[in-house]
Chains A and B, each alone.
Chain A
Amino acid sequence: MTNMHLVDKDILKDTLESEPIRAGFGRGLLEAGKKDENVVAACADLTGSTKMDLFAEAFPERFVEIGVAEQNLVTVGAGLAAMGKVPFVSSYAAFSPGRNWEQIRTTICLNDLPVKIVGSHAGVSVGPDGATHQMLEDITLMRVLPNMVVIAPADSVEAEKATLALAEDKRPGYLRLAREATPIITTQKTPFEIGKAYILTPGKDVTIICTGTMTYQALAAAEMLYKDGIDAEVVHCPTIKPLDAATILSSVQKTKAVITAEEAQINGGLGGAVAELLAEQCPRPMRRVGMKDRFGESGNPEELLEHFGLTAKHIALVAHELKDYLED
């Protein structure tokens, strides 16, 4: 197996460094801007929150402040891209792509233009702001659009790589970011390529397919399960579309059951995508960890993750529920 160069720490015992995933985007965008003068940016009145401020300060002439107007945000992006620019357009995921789906569909995806939609503050871990701001349907909304690439990085280090990769990609893209500090599990050496899933922990009993903030939880769950005698394989899937079917299928063919994990609606999200793939090509006992067709609510991020069953402990519990299938 390829060395994934994860952080050299005991995920259950050691304190991992953490940082908001969006911070990695901010650094990546600045770097992409230095590499390519056609990289430009626009924001809907959330420049600091989405970490676009680094770019805006470095390249004021290549930054457009749109105001609180998300429909305009993505359609101005389409116009910039039609003239050869590579625009990154950011807001909170609840508003973009939450509010402007049709504009994304028609002016970006049907036009096949390389606009990069950056949705920050996705998931229930947004916390006290409550359900209106906790975007859970964005993965679903974006992955049904033809031409669209959908990426949810696991940590800030991967977000930086994903941003640089998106800047070079010719397709429309969606980058999903989170608000809260997320433990850093990857390093500069960890591979990242659009369209690739990675086996972070090899195992033979159950495959845990995870994305975004839930990848850390899945790694921790695998450690817990190992102690319980269940050998879990963690497949990190930062690109939800196009889905890396080959890596997923090869893992699933080797193990006996499948769990997906995401901080998003399981309906149509990563769970939905994997279910579609496996139902057609390799049916397996399967459970989906994520938001189960309901909205979030106000609370502290940790409380909410616990409340909605989005922790390592919950993933491990689900694996135990599959125990009958895991025995030879």
Chain B
Amino acid sequence: MTKMSLEELELKANDIRKDIITMLEHAGSGHSAGPLGLADIFTALYFDILKHDPSKPNWNQRDILLLSNGHCVPVRYAAMAESGYFEKSELLTLRKLGSRLQGHPERTKLPGLENTSGPLGSGLSQAAGMSLAMRMNKDLHRWVYVVMGDGELDEGNIWEAAMLAGKYKLNNIIGIVDRNNIQIDGPTESVMPLEDLKGKWEAFGWHVIEIDGNNIEAVIDACAMGRAIVEKPVVIIAHTIPGKGVDFMESDFHWHGSPPNHEQAVKALKELRTLQGKIKSEAHD
């Protein structure tokens, strides 16, 4: 795949946000805030960072991308459709009976998904298992990226895996924490404080990079930096705005687990088109 320019990537992220709104409205249930906040990271991954081939989802030299916080899967489905894993029309089957696009991702249902998730906290340990298998196979030119939510870091399983990856210096793992500061019951720091988050990861033997996770260039640069660090696993704490791109959803934890209704979807899509800088008139409706 030829590399896209930064401007093209930003437009692609906007397309993915529109896909998310459309799918969620159509599904009538699902999570809005997380997927919108992750759109820039998934754009960077699917259209720049990952070594992958949408026509060969099981290519044995592909990089692995695990989504540990499965409820954010709409952003992954949208990024997969936009990069050609399947037709965009299939996005409208999200959460419907018989769909390959389950409400939470299932590895056996859709080629290109690497794990089944929804119950939180198990993605990093699966990444560790994959990384160990690659090491055993002397398969040293592949990367395992794993996206985690911040609320999900309440789970003990994450820290069991963090300890193991630190012990074995699993240096082909790049963790990305979606640090959007919200979880279902409210702000992360009041539900279960995570800070000092950087210090926690460092104490477990990880190299930590902190970035603006809604800046595509920063995501690409951080992953490149992460791949260059060989002595330990790397985690990128990506600060994102939940609901990013849709004004009335941004940073409101009530949008964690809700989809937009028709009226809200129309409003959100209008905003996203405006953001794209193409339909300036709509901004002043």
Contacts and interface: CB of A to CB of B under 8 A. Distances in A.
Interface of A: 40, 61-62, 64, 66-67, 69, 71-72, 75-85, 87, 102-103, 106-107, 110-112
B114 A82 contact: yes
Contacts of A40: 133, 136
Contacts of A71: 121-122, 125, 156-157, 160
B130 interface: yes
A78 B164 CA distance: 15
A80 B160 contact: no
B190 interface: no
Contact of A111 (B115, B127, B128, B157): B115
A110 B128 contact: no
Counting chain B CB atoms within 10 Å of each CB, which of A76, A87, A110 scores highest?
Answer: A76
Given A76-B125, A106-B122, A111-B108, A85 B133 contact: yes
Nearest to B139: A83
A69 B160 contact: yes
Nearest to A77: B129
Interface of B: 106-108, 114-119, 121-122, 125-134, 136-137, 156-157, 160-161, 163-164, 167-168
A80 B130 contact: yes
A82 B142 CA distance: 15
Chain A at the B interface: SS class = helix
B67 to A, nearest CB: 13
Contacts of B129: 75-83, 87
A40 B129 CA distance: 11
A85 to B, nearest CB: 5
Nearest to A76: B129
Nearest to A105: B119
B156 A76 contact: no
A130 to B, nearest CB: 25
Contacts of B163: 67, 69
Contacts of A78: 115, 122, 125-126, 129
Given A64-B132, A64-B164, 15 more contacts: A40-B136, A71-B121, A72-B160, A72-B164, A79-B125, A79-B128, A80-B130, A80-B132, A80-B133, A82-B107, A84-B133, A87-B129, A106-B118, A107-B122, A112-B108
